[in-house]
């Protein structure tokens, strides 16, 4: 992983290259394929569960009234779909030990 606190696609591909021995192009292609499948499933309205990691859940939020904090004027907030992530119990335990 690079020195920053962000894990990138390149980091994932490099790990596949080193640990499994896939070529760099095959590693990058595999990472893109996995992320593409995940994005496609979410775009089609499916929840995505990765055992031992967590679950990506789509939630539909209803319309509600919000308030502009500067002016105090009430404005309607349109209904929308949001993506949430819930870490698995084993992931939460690993993070707590770190």
For residue range 2-60, list pLDDT tens digits in order: 455 899 999 999 999 999 999 999 999 999 999 999 999 999 999 999 999 999 999 99
- Cα angle 59, 60, 66 (rounded to 5 degrees) comes to 115
Is the whole-model pTM more than 0.85? no
* Residue pointed to by tokens 């496609």: 40
Q: What is the pLDDT of residue 3?
A: 54
Q: What is the pLDDT of residue 4?
A: 59
User: In sequence order, what are the beta bridge partners of 54?
Assistant: 50, 87
């Amino acid at each position: 992983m690079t020195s920053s606190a962000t894990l990138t696609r390149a980091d994932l591909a490099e790990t596949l290259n080193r640990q499994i021995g896939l070529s760099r192009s095959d590693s990058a292609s595999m990472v893109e394929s996995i992320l593409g499948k995940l994005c496609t499933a979410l775009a089609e309205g499916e929840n995505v569960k990765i055992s031992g990691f967590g679950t990506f859940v789509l939630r539909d939020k209803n319309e509600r009234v919000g308030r502009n904090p500067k002016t105090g004027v009430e404005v309607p907030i349109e209904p929308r779909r949001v993506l949430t992530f819930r870490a698995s119990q084993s992931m939460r335990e690993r993070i707590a030990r770190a």
